[in-house]
Structures are given as structure tokens and as C-alpha cells.
Amino acid sequence: MSILSLIGWYTLPKYATNTVLYVYYGITIRAGDPKPQPGSPRYARDRRRVFIAIVIAYLLYNLYESYQKIQNAGNFYEVLGVSPLSDERTIKTRFRRLAAQHHPDKLEAGSSGDIFMYLKLAQDTLTSPVKRYAYDMWGPRINEWGNIDTAHGYFVAGLMKTIPTYVMSFLGLILLNYTWWSDWGRYWRFFAFAALFSLNLSLISHQGPVFITSTFFLLPWQIMTMAETISVSLHIFISQIAPPEPKDAGAGERLHPQTIQRLAQLLHLSRATDTEATRLLQLGFAPFQGDKDSVATLRKGMKEGLVLSSVRGSSGVQQAVKQVAERKNQEKKDG
């Protein structure tokens, strides 16, 4: 993944979210009505939803861009116009036709010579079973590994190039997970790394391209190139959509010692008031202690008082009382 792509991950979603949210409020909220302000629950909820939608869209765009780069780069099979299932004879026949068109002796020197040398490299690689296997697995970088004559040699060389990369990536993943990224999504980051490593092992053990249709295929090294880009994008995606962590109260948000003292006094006063009210209530019930008949009469009277108070407080009764009072006032005026 390029530096520009990383910068885009950490800058574009934020600016796009602010713009989309501004347009969204402009469309959905009528002119003159107050818009949700930063810090309000609705603003935080809407902003997070828009942000997640934009990050998902940017992730899908990165996946598409990675695929397009693989297709634009091409491979030796596409250059020669053959299929991974083509045999050596078909490849040589196709090369002779292309060589006749791009041979430097027939065309002007310059780009035609570079094209011819590239076609020759593709033909030499695909007509050699050992190099063809290595090319399918690791791509054109095998030409930088020196003279290797066996498939086992290429396999060992590929592992020596791959394992250090995974070790460094794993150490970097641990460092970022426990120093920078939030705890949320940690399991999925390690799962994505394990899936990438398993995919690499599976492709190395599975010789040949992966056919999606009869004419569309992806070579193992192309799949791994896309998978590595997707893995990095997923790690950043998970860190981006992590829920915000609660902030600790800063120095400006702490209560003043005098305020804390007054709150403690208020709490003490409320407890003392509750104790005094309980004592007065018990004192009022003291004459009825041991007298079951009086206690029963008191309970009955209290129940009737509660019912009567509830009835008097109902809106229907108050409305009826008001009508009666108005009728009496009217009768007095008429009399």
C-alpha cells in the first residue's frame, strides 16, 4: 500500500463525513430549525453512521483499485495471448508470431527492442516447467533470485523471502495493537493476519492458477498481492470504525473542593432530615402501640384518606367541582 493511500485512509473519511453531514442536515432540516450541534447525542449518532458508511465505501474502492492495478500490470500469459492451460508448443507458436511483429530488425530501434526482450523473457519463463511454476507462485520477481534450476530451490527461496516479511508484519501488528490501536477489534485483526498467512500457504501448495471462469483467471501471486493490500486495508478499517473511548475527566472538569464540601453537607442534612421525619412518625404512632382496634381504625382511615385524596385530585372530579362552583356563582348573580 502506498503512502498516499495511507494518508487518504486517515484524512479523506473525516473531511467527507463533515461534508456529507452538512449536506444531509441542509436537506432534512427545514430552514430556521436548529441543527444538531457538535457534542449533542444526535450529532454524535449521525456523524458515526455517516463516517462508517464512508469508510466502508472507501474500503470497497481500495479493493477495486487493487484489482485494477493487478489487471493493468498484466502477466506473461496475457502478454503472449495464451492461457495458463496452454502447452509449450502453443506458447512458442504464439511467441514466433509476436516476435515477427516486434523484432528490432524489422522496426525502428527503441521501444520495439524493449517489447521484444519482454516477450522473449515471457516465452523463456513459460516454456520452462520449473520457472513456470515459480512464476505462477511468486510472479516476475523470480528473475531477481539468481540462477535456480529446481522447483525445490525456488520453493525454498520463496519461503526465505516470505517468512521474514510475515515475522516483521506480526511483530508490527502486536506493537500497533497494544500501543496505538484500540482494544476493540483486536481479535479480527489477528484473524485477518492468520487468514492471510493460511491463504499464502494454501496457494503455495496449490500449483496453477485459480480459474473463476473459463477465460478469467488469477495467478497465485496476483491473488496474494491483492490479499496483502486487502489485509492492510482491513486493519485500518477496523481501527477507523472502533467506537470512541470514554475520555477521563480532565483538570477543568473536576469539582472544586468547596463544591464537594457543600455536597457532603447537603447529604448529611438530608440524612438527618430523614431520621427526624422517621422519629416523628414513630412518635405519632406511639399512642396506638399495643391497641389492635385503634391500629385497625387508623389503617382504615388512612386508606380512606388516600382514596379520597386520589379521587379529589382526579381531573374529572376537579372539573365537576368547578362546574358546580360556577353554577352557584351564577345563581347568586341571578338572585
**Residue-wise DSSP of 65-117:** HHHHHHHHH--HHHHHT--TT--HHHHHHHHHHHHHHH-TTTS-SSHHHHHHH
Q: What are the strands, taking DSSP E only, across the chain?
A: 210-211, 217-218
Name the residue with higher pLDDT: 104 or 10. 10
Evaluate if residue 16 carries a pLDDT over 80: yes
Confidence of residue 251 (pLDDT cuts 50, 70, 90): very low
User: Count of domains in the chain?
Assistant: 2
Asked if the structure places residue 62 within a domain, the reply is yes
Choosing from 45, 70, 95, the residue where a domain stops is 70
User: What pTM was computed for the model?
Assistant: 0.63
Q: What percent of the chain has pLDDT above 90?
A: 6
Q: Which of 52, 70, 88 is the last residue of a domain?
A: 70
Q: How far apart are CA 279 and CA 285, in angstroms?
A: 10
Classify residue 22 as exposed, middle or buried by CB count within 10 Å of its CB (0-12, 13-18, 19+).
exposed
Residue 323 lies in a domain: yes
Give dist(CA 251, CA 222) in Å, integer: 54
Question: What range defines the domain where residue 313 resides?
Answer: 299-335
Per-chain mean pLDDT for the chain: 82
Q: For residue 66, is it within any domain?
A: yes
**Residue 33 domain-assigned (yes or no):** yes
**CA triple 255-259-263, angle to 5 deg:** 110
Query: Which pLDDT tens digit goes with each residue over 68-87?
Result: 988 888 888 888 888 888 88
Query: Is 114 domain-assigned?
Result: no
Alpha-carbon span 18 to 24, nearest angstrom: 10
